[in-house]
């Protein structure tokens, strides 16, 4: 039985590729790998996951992306740094789940194409 467990690539729809590439590269600091023609650009995230920014090939593929959650060690510091670079946050870092011994924190923002993104961290608590 085939079991899918490794995520290799995530695609995010964009309409202005140069603007989106600049945002992910310069504002978010995601490592740029290469461009593939005038419609796609690839970035590398940790654990070997590629992020592809692509202009939709057909109208049926033109929709907002799923939410990408970028893991950070210190959510308050990451929020301040990204906000200082002009990243438009919808909210401040906040707890979204309290579990025995830890909390999950998130803060949401938009990219230049209207796609919702987030930074997240897990914090140990007594």
pLDDT tens, position by position, 35-66: 998 999 999 999 899 999 999 999 998 988 88
pLDDT at 5: 82
- Secondary structure class of 79 (helix, strand, coil): helix
Q: Give Cβ neighbours of residue 17 (< 8 Å, ≥ 6 apart).
A: 38, 39, 40, 41, 53, 54, 55
Q: Which domains does the chain have, with CATH numbers?
A: 9-124 (3.10.180.10)
pLDDT at 64: 85
Q: Which parts of the chain register pLDDT below 50?
A: none
Q: Which helix (H) or strand (E) holds 107?
A: strand 102-110
């Amino acid at each position: 039985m085939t079991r899918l467990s490794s995520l290799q690539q995530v695609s995010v729809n964009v309409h202005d590729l140069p603007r989106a590439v600049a945002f992910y590269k310069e504002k978010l600091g995601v490592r740029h790998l290469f461009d593939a023609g005038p419609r796609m650009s690839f970035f590398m995230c940790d654990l070997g996951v590629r992020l592809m920014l692509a202009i939709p090939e057909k109208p049926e593929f033109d929709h907002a992306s799923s939410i990408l959650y970028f893991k950070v060690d210190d959510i308050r510091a990451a929020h301040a740094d990204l906000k200082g670079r002009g990243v438009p946050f919808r909210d401040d870092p906040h707890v979204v789940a309290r579990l025995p011994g830890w909390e999950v924190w998130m803060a949401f923002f938009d990219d230049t194409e209207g796609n919702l993104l987030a930074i997240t961290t897990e914090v140990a608590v007594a």
